[in-house]
Structure 1
Amino acid sequence: MTVRIGKIGYLNVLPIYHPIESGIIGHGFSIVSGPPSALNRLMDAGQLDISAASSIEYARHPEKYYLVPDIAIGSRGPVQSVLLLSRCPVEELHGQTIVVSAQTHTSAALLRVLLAEWQIEPTFVTGDATAMLSTGHRPQAILCIGDEALNLRFHPDYPVRTDLGEAWRNLTGLPFIFGVWIVQRTSFERNGPAIRQACAALLAAKCWGESNIAAMCALAAESSCLSQAEMCSYFDGLVYDLGPEEIAGMTLFYQRLAHNGFIDAVPALHFLP
């Protein structure tokens, strides 16, 4: 039975998936690409065996998943690709409308946590920021993630840029983990050896990508509006590990989510046995 693996369709995971898709790291699984929200739904429905997923997806259904050890996607400061773009200072957004991309779950939750900390209560609507801007519509603020954030981060109509990774680091002193790799528990029970082999390939690909990050920056720049130097700056701010400090940051995020009523309880972290 072929193992089905989900891939976030953003440049930030290129160092992990390029070695796999180019054949540098051998594998025998199938890859399904999509935005985080789509992969969350596929995992929740049991239609993928392993996937990159929003860290909040694990928090919502910890009984369904195992965490893959030693691999994540996050930042230890500015992340550059998760931005609140505003036409006014953030403290003036109380009662204003923020457009949130439908592609994100974790970033939207992080924004809610930060705004609660800052005692700001806006109204949230879901929408496509790029499409809105192309029609001339200018919402007061937009939350952008991934490649869209990289493309819109210097938009002249949005002079106030709040990097959510940087805001979290300033608030807590800890890294923020936007995405994790999770395994369906039922898939592991059915075919543990194949799942382990697939997870080993992901970890090997992560090691290869980190060791060849300059080449990954050059490759990513080919399909982006960013120069190679800008792309290297972007990748330099990313974290692909899930070590003690990253786990501490993720646990604190879950605690803040529970405190604000965004999840029912702080989940225990269960790694692939």
Structure 2
Amino acid sequence: MSVRLGKIGYLNVLPIYHPLETGILPMDCEVTSGPPAELNRLMDAGLLDVSAASSVEYARHADKYYLIPDIAIGSRGPVQSVLLLSRRPVEELDRRTILVSAQTHTSAALLRVLQAKLWKIRTVFTTGSATDVLGTGERPQAILCIGDEALNLRYHPDYPYRIDLGEAWRELTGLPFIFGVWIVSRESWNRDREKVEQAANLLLAGKHWGEENIADVCVMAAEESCLNDEEMCSYFDGLVYDLGPEEQRGMRAFYESLVETGIIERVPELVFLPSA
């Protein structure tokens, strides 16, 4: 079997996947690229074996997955690519409508938590592409955008109020926020443990390569973005690729908040790949 590997189609995972996709680290996987929401769907449907996925996807279906240890995507403050762009101060958004990217599950859930616990407001969500909507000339009161779209729209002149959800989470809790994790289908693990374990180890090797070559990655990423080299390095400097004790505390705090706000029913246990 060739392992079916999911890849988030954003620049923030370039440090991990570049060495895999260019042959720097030999890979025997079938790669599917897409936004987090699509990878969540594919994992839930059993159409991928190993994938990056939203931390909310793990929370909702923890019994179907194992977490790959010590690899994640998050921040210890500003993340720069998960932004609430607003035409008015956030406190004035009460009872108004926010356009939310259809590509995200975790960021939308985090926004719900921040509204309830930090800003004490309620809003209505509608889903869609911010880039497409803005292209029509329409100007929603507020937009939640993620990934490369957030990097491209963060200085939009019609949206003077910019709230970085990673920074808002730190303001609320003092903890890192983990937007995405790498998960393994338990069914795939039971079917072909050796190959799935090789794929998991390959992702960890890719992470280590990316950390050691991050300056080169910044230059490569800037070539595909509206950000210059300095801005791209600032972006990558703010990202967390670890899933250590502090990041796990942040995940558990998020899951507890999701229970409090009625988004999930219970806090899942963090279950990692079985050791050999």
Which TM-score tier does this pair reach, normalised by the shorter chain? over 0.9
Q: Residues of 2 paired with 1:127 and 1:120: CA distance?
A: 22
The aligned length equals 273
Q: Give secondary structure in 2 for the equivalent of 1:63.
A: helix
Match of 1:258 in 2: 259
Q: Residues of 1 paired with 2:198 and 2:149: CA distance?
A: 33
Q: Residues of 1 paired with 2:172 and 2:26: CA distance?
A: 41
1:64 aligns with 2:64: yes
- Runs of 4+ deviating beyond 3 Å: none
Match of 2:195 in 1: 194
- Structure 1 counterpart of 2:102, which letter? A
Report the TM-score when normalising by structure 1. Answer: 0.99
1:27 aligns with 2:39: no
Q: Residues of 1 paired with 2:146 and 2:198: CA distance?
A: 31
> Is contact 2:69-2:272 (8 Å) kept?
yes
Match of 2:178 in 1: 177
- Structure 2 counterpart of 1:220, which letter? A
Structure 1 residue 46, shift from structure 2 partner = 0.1
- Structure 2 counterpart of 1:227, which letter? N
Match of 2:106 in 1: 106
Render the CA deviation track for 1:12-55: whole Å, top value 9, x for unaligned: 00000001001111121111000000000000000000000000
Render the CA deviation track for 1:116-172: whole Å, top value 9, x for unaligned: 012100111111111111111000000000000000000000000000000001111
Match of 1:75 in 2: 75
Q: Residues of 2 paired with 1:30 and 1:127: CA distance?
A: 29
Structure 1 residue 196, shift from structure 2 partner = 0.7
- Structure 2 counterpart of 1:58, which letter? Y
> Is contact 2:178-2:250 (8 Å) kept?
yes
Match of 1:8 in 2: 8
Q: Residues of 2 paired with 1:260 and 1:144: CA distance?
A: 22
Match of 2:40 in 1: 40
- Structure 1 counterpart of 2:147, which letter? G
1:210 aligns with 2:211: yes
- Structure 2 counterpart of 1:45, which letter? A
> Is contact 2:21-2:27 (8 Å) kept?
no
1:54 aligns with 2:54: yes
Q: Residues of 1 paired with 2:69 and 2:225: CA distance?
A: 30
- Structure 2 counterpart of 1:16, which letter? I
Match of 1:141 in 2: 142
Q: Residues of 2 paired with 1:127 and 1:9: CA distance?
A: 17
Q: Give secondary structure in 1 for the equivalent of 2:74.
A: strand
Match of 1:165 in 2: 166
- Structure 1 counterpart of 2:135, which letter? S
Identity of aligned residues (%): 71
Q: Residues of 2 paired with 1:25 and 1:157: CA distance?
A: 44
- Structure 1 counterpart of 2:140, which letter? P
Q: Give secondary structure in 1 for the equivalent of 2:62.
A: coil
Render the CA deviation track for 1:232-264: whole Å, top value 9, x for unaligned: 000000000000000000010000001110001
Q: Runs of 5+ in structure 1 lacking a partner?
A: none
Report the TM-score when normalising by structure 2. Answer: 0.98
Match of 1:94 in 2: 94
Match of 1:152 in 2: 153
Report the aligned-residue RMSD.
0.4
Q: Runs of 5+ in structure 2 lacking a partner?
A: none
